[in-house]
Amino acid sequence: MSANPFAHPALFYRTPAGYADQLGRFIHGALEGGHPVAVAVPKPNLDLLREHVGPGAAREVQWIDMFEAGRNPGRIIPMVLLATARAHPGRRAHIIGEPIWAGRTQAEYPACAQHEALINDAFAGRDAIIVCPYDESALEPSVLADALHTHPTLTDAGRTWTSPGYDVQAWRRFNPPLGDPPEHALRVDVADNSDLVLVRKFATELYAACGMPGELTSRLVQAVSEVATNTVVHGDNGGRVSLWFEQRALVAQVDSEGGMPALSGRIPPADGGPGYGLIVANVLCDLVCVHFGESATAVRMWVSSPP
Amino acid sequence: MSRFTAGDHVCVAFDGGDELLEAVADSARCALENGEKAVCYTAQFLPLAVEATLEASDLRMRAGLDSGQVVIASVHDAHLVTGQFDPERTITAWREKIGQARQDGFAGIRVIADMSWAADIAPARVNRLAWYEAQLNRVFAAGFATVLCMYDRRLFTQAQLNAYAPAHTASARAESGVLRQLRIAHTTDPRGLRLSGEADLATAVAVEAVLAGLPEDVPGDGPLVIDLSGLAFADVGTITSLVRTARRNPGMRFASPTPLVGRMLEMVGEFEGVRVNL
């Protein structure tokens, strides 16, 4: 255990002042140690911290609005956390990542908790520290309890101790079945590579009929085509695509036989290999929920118009 | 048939001889109307039988056959010249035949290739045929030939078709038309390649072969430009092939991608550590 240089503590805070004080200390300490620092938190907290650490330190830090970058929690590992680590090879990246806030929807939350759990797998053995602040004053008690499962340690930015609830396989707790698409969804079976063009054709037509902007449609069409492609490449029996429309959102689900590694879509493939498909879906969609089954995988994707 | 144009290399799955003969007649008619040469390499039928069907279908065919504008030949004159399948030699023969048709003043050449001869090739040679089909795209990207490779579904397994289809730029089912289509064309000014239509897993092998043929397939020494203005869709596999081509050819530029294709190129470029010039 002690050989793992990766640290992933949760930090519980109650007030803006406490937040600024504790995380300000973390930032200053990291900068004094000569480490690269990235802060990916919701905009109000971002502004609060930037103000608190002062202009000198603020220039040294990479600031990322998590409302934007982490809207789909599935894209945080590949596009924020690993990107930061990659930008500073050979150095211990110090990252503050706050993916869970009070406004997260019921659909988003399991994906957020799954993301927190998968950080442990994605960063195992990597030289980095990711501190995840949780707002005790605003989040549900069950959410705070989940954070104990997904974080090996807890910290107050001074002291760090073992989390009493840590579960090395925590992602399995946040892997709920997605349920069936609605009755009225348009279904397209994907058996081989010649079906992919039909998936895109039907999706484009359906979403255009919903009157959504073309930019949203093209993003989801790309995402669903990539995930459907995976079912042809990796699945034994292809898959089924379901397409529908919810309030202000275009939705697609891809069900396929065969399991999928839980880190799919989180870590870019090693050079030469395939494996960008689900990363593309994570980047282009506003939410991606994945159910990893023993012998089946379901991926549901949303692209929504701004509120 | 008329929807296919120079540069197209189509994998057509068909059921039975009638559909094959219909495709030959269609192709020949189209060629006669457009001043193109029509060539059919037949395997299931004797050339004389095909000629007879053509004559019955259209009064102009006899004249076309007599003048040499329409040629019905045995597959032994194309793919099996030496009695067995020799991909390199066959590809050279394609270049020569296309060059000859140009020299003879035709506006293009339309080819129907009955692939039935390949149905019983040894499993070990399946990859060889897929390689051959993929390499042909480098020849056809010059934009003079329209080639339909006819695969009889009674003779080929779905697994075989899945292996061969992505080596073409388009796939069609004889009964229901084109399923999807990509166009790949070499360009001379600027020097490079133009991709248009949709590129996905079903065209991956063809795209990869043509990209791997750069820069030697396009004469000159100016910087390469890949014109993506007509590329409506590219899956991330295609994007990755493009990015890796850029890595092999420093200075290469991608021109006019859609916003989404441009975004994908930049994203994969960053993952692959390749500077992408848009």
H/E stretch holding B70 reads: strand B70-74
Beta-bridged to residue A290, according to DSSP, are A299
Chain A residue numbers with beta carbons less than 8 Å from the beta carbon of B157 are none
Q: Is it true that the peptide bond before B190 is cis, omega within 30 degrees of 0?
A: yes
Mean pLDDT for A127-149 is 97
Which range has highest mean pLDDT (A33-47, A205-219, B116-130)?
A: A33-47
B127–chain A nearest CA distance, Å? 17
The lowest-confidence range among A6-15, B96-105, B176-185 is: B176-185
At residue B83, does pLDDT exceed 80?
no
Nearest CA in chain A to B198: A197
Instruction: Compute CA B111 distance to the chain's CA centroid, rounded to the nearest angstrom.
Output: 10
Alpha-carbon dihedral of residues B6, B76, B161, B18, nearest 10 degrees? 80
Residue A237: the pLDDT is: 79
Residues of A in contact with B180 (CB under 8 A): 194, 196-197
Q: In the prediction, which pLDDT does B175 show?
A: 64
Chain A neighbors of B239, CB-CB under 8 A: 276
Of the candidates A303, A306, A304, A111, which has an alpha carbon nearest to the alpha carbon of residue A224?
Answer: A303
Q: Which of B201, B240, B267 has its CB closest to that of A232? A: B201
- Which residues on chain B are in Cβ contact (under 8 Å) with A196? 180, 200-202, 235
Interior CA angle at B244 toward B188 and B186, to 5°? 15
Q: Is pLDDT of A26 > 80?
A: yes
Residue A227 burial (C-beta neighbours within 10 Å; 0-12, 13-18, 19+): buried
The pLDDT of residue A101: 97
The answer to whether residue A129 scores a pLDDT higher than 90 is yes
pLDDT in tens, B35-80: 999 999 999 999 999 999 999 988 899 999 999 999 999 987 776 6
Q: Which residue has the higher pLDDT, B125 or A245?
A: A245
β-pairing, A186-190 vs A239-246, is antiparallel
Tell me what pLDDT residue B1 has.
62
Count of C-beta atoms within a 10 Å radius of residue A290: 25
**Gap between the Cα atoms of B35 and B40, Å rounded:** 16
In chain A, what residues touch B264 (CB-CB under 8 Å)?
222, 280
Q: Give pLDDT, residue B122.
A: 73
Interchain CB distance below 8 Å, B180 and A274 = no
The pLDDT of residue B157 = 87
Residue (of B149, B130, B136) closest to B27 by Cα position: B149
**What residues of chain B lie within 8 A of the CB of A277, using their CB?**
235-237
Backbone angles phi, psi at B34, to 5 degrees: -110, 10
Q: Tell me, what's the pLDDT at B195?
A: 98
Predicted local distance difference test score (pLDDT) of residue A161: 97
Q: Which of B20, B59, B4 is nearest to B154 (CA)?
A: B20
**What pairing do the DSSP bridges indicate for beta strands A249-257 and A296-304?**
antiparallel
Kindly report the average pLDDT of chain A as a whole number.
94
Q: Which amino acid is at B103?
A: Q
Strands (E) located in A111-203: 128-135, 153-155, 160-162, 186-190
pLDDT at A248: 87
Can you read off the two tokens belonging to residue B97?
């035949």
Taking an 8 Å cut-off on Cβ atoms, the answer to whether A276 and B240 are in contact is yes
Distance CA A266, CA A221 (A): 20
Contact between A32 and A60 (Cβ < 8 Å): no
Chain B interface with A: residues with Cβ < 8 Å? 158, 162, 165-166, 171, 179-180, 198, 200-202, 233, 235-237, 239-240, 258-260, 264, 267-268, 270-272
Residues 6+ apart with CB under 8 A from B250: none
Three-state DSSP state, A263: coil
**pLDDT tens figures, A230-252:** 999 887 778 999 999 998 899 99
Give me the mean pLDDT over the A51-70 stretch. 97
Q: Which residue has the higher pLDDT, A125 or A236?
A: A125
Structural Rg of chain A based on CA atoms: 20
- Asked if residue B13 has pLDDT above 80, the reply is yes
Q: Are A300 and B264 in contact (CB under 8 A)?
A: no
Q: C-alpha A270: how far from its chain's center?
A: 20
Residue A301 to residue A280: CA distance in whole angstroms: 11
Record the tokens describing residue B41, joined without a space.
Answer: 């390499």
Task: Return d(Cα B139, Cα B129) in angstroms, integer.
Answer: 16
Residues of B in contact with A220 (CB under 8 A): none
Pick from B18, B25, B21: which is nearest to B1 by CA?
Answer: B25
Does pLDDT of B123 surpass 80? no
**A226–B202 C-beta distance less than 8 A:** no
- Dig out the tokens for A8 from the structure: 């992933």
> pLDDT per residue over B231-252, tens digit each?
999 999 999 999 999 999 999 9
Pairwise CB contact (< 8 Å): B264 & A233: no
- pLDDT digit string, tens, across residues B217-236: 999 989 999 999 999 999 99
- The 10s digit of each residue's pLDDT in A70-124 is 999 999 999 999 999 999 999 999 999 999 999 999 999 999 999 999 999 999 9
Subunit contact A196:B200, Cβ cutoff 8 A? yes
In angstroms, the CA B124 to CA B101 distance is 34
- Return the pLDDT at A1: 43
Strands A153-155 and A160-162: antiparallel
Strand partners, A10: A132, A154
Taking 3-state DSSP, the helix, strand and coil percentages for chain B, each rounded to the nearest 5, stand at 45, 25, 30
Please measure the distance between the N-terminal and C-terminal CA atoms of chain B and give it in whole angstroms: 36
HSE value, Cβ hemisphere, 13 Å, CA-based, for A296: 10
Task: Pick the residue from chain B with its C-alpha nearest to A280.
Answer: B236
A80 secondary structure, DSSP code: I
d(CA A217, CA A206): 9
Note whether B179 contacts A198, CB cutoff 8 Å.
Answer: yes
Q: Which of A224, A226, A276, A282 to mutate to test the interface with B (most CBs of B within 10 A)?
A: A276
- The mean-pLDDT minimum among A7-16, A128-137, A162-171, B156-165 falls in B156-165
Contact B267 A280 (CB under 8 A): yes
Q: Nearest-CA distance from A240 to chain B in Å?
A: 17
* Token output for A16: 């803006």
Q: pTM to 2 decimals?
A: 0.93
Which H helix or E strand runs over A97? strand A93-97
CA A208 to chain B, closest CA, distance in angstroms equals 16
CB-based contact B110:B36 (threshold 8 Å)? yes
Peptide bond into B215 cis (omega under 30): yes
Residue B188 DSSP class: E
* pLDDT at A275 > cutoff 90: no
Q: Tell me the chain B residues in contact with residue A219 when contact means C-beta distances shorter than 8 Å.
A: 260
List the A61-65 sheet strands across, edge first. Answer: A61-65, A37-41, A93-97, A128-135, A9-13, A153-155, A160-162
Structure tokens at A298: 């379901």
Q: Residue A276 and residue B268: Cβ atoms within 8 Å?
A: yes
pLDDT digit string, tens, across residues B136-191:
999 999 999 999 999 999 999 888 888 899 999 998 876 666 665 899 999 999 99
Number of neighbours of residue A34 by Cβ within 10 angstroms = 8
Q: Which helix (H) or strand (E) holds A300?
A: strand A296-304
